[in-house]
Structure 1
Amino acid sequence: MNQSALKFSSKLILVLTIVFGLHIAALYALELPLFEHKIVLAYIVNALLAILIFAFLHKMKEKYKEQLGFLFIGGSLLKFVAFFIFFYESYKADGSISKLEFAAFFTPYILCLIIETLSLAKWLNKLD
């Protein structure tokens, strides 16, 4: 793994670990179930996909410089496919997706998306 991908991975894991702790603390404070709704899997899957997508884009940055935006969108599509494969069926089992289920998946998803976007924008600006 190159230096840029390693720095990204470290930053992402640190932020997700802190937010996961805050997420669990909020659930505890509200006396809600702590580890239901595949919350751990959601954080892990989102982190792994973000790291893989970032590393892939970083590897492709010279060869496909003009297409990186489309490749990034493809990575987002991959995350939605992962949602439907790993989470949707169990979340929708009772007929609706609850706020807790939504938060369990989309909290790490949004964080990963923000960190990915900021990191990619930073090194894409250096390419010009």
Structure 2
Amino acid sequence: MRKTTKQILVFSIKLLVALIAVFGIHSGILYYLDISVFQNLLIPSYITNYFLALLIFFILVKLKKKYLDLLGFVFMGGSFVKFGVFFIFFNPVFKQNGTVGAQEATAFLLPYLLCLIVETIYLIKLLNNKM
């Protein structure tokens, strides 16, 4: 297996496991509060974050050899794209009642922040040539 493929596979599996764990905790709390996991676009939020993080990491790995000094900017651009996707597709649904509530904000922020943390850890590994 090529090194690039292995890097992406390891990242995707670890990110998926982390997201499933956080989703389990998140949905458990919602169940305890008697709130459906199908409200507030919770499931699409986790899925979208996962695939956008994979895309960003894939781009980072592919650009590593040729543009190592620009990876930080590419990473920040990827985060900007993720925010853009959420403001274009998720925010209008969240604001249908006039405000974005705590449950809606949490549905967006938990998977976003988790993916951001995992992406940052792997970007540091890429930059330090530990991957």
TM-score normalised by structure 1 residue count = 0.95
What's the CA shift for 1:123? 2.0
Alignment identity in percent? 46
Residue from 91, 94, 99 that aligns with 1:96: 99
In structure 1, stretches of 5+ residues that fail to align are: none
In structure 2, stretches of 5+ residues that fail to align are: none
**Aligned counterparts, 1:40-55, within 5 A:** 40-55=43-58
Residue from 29, 33, 45 that aligns with 1:30: 33
Match of 1:9 in 2: 12
Match of 2:111 in 1: 108
Residue from 71, 76, 93 that aligns with 1:73: 76
What's the CA shift for 1:21? 0.9
1:63 and 2:93 equivalent? Answer: no
SS of the counterpart of 1:2?
helix
Structure 1 runs (4+) deviating above 4 angstroms are none
CA distance in 2, matches of 1:66, 1:76: 18
TM-score normalised by structure 2 residue count = 0.93
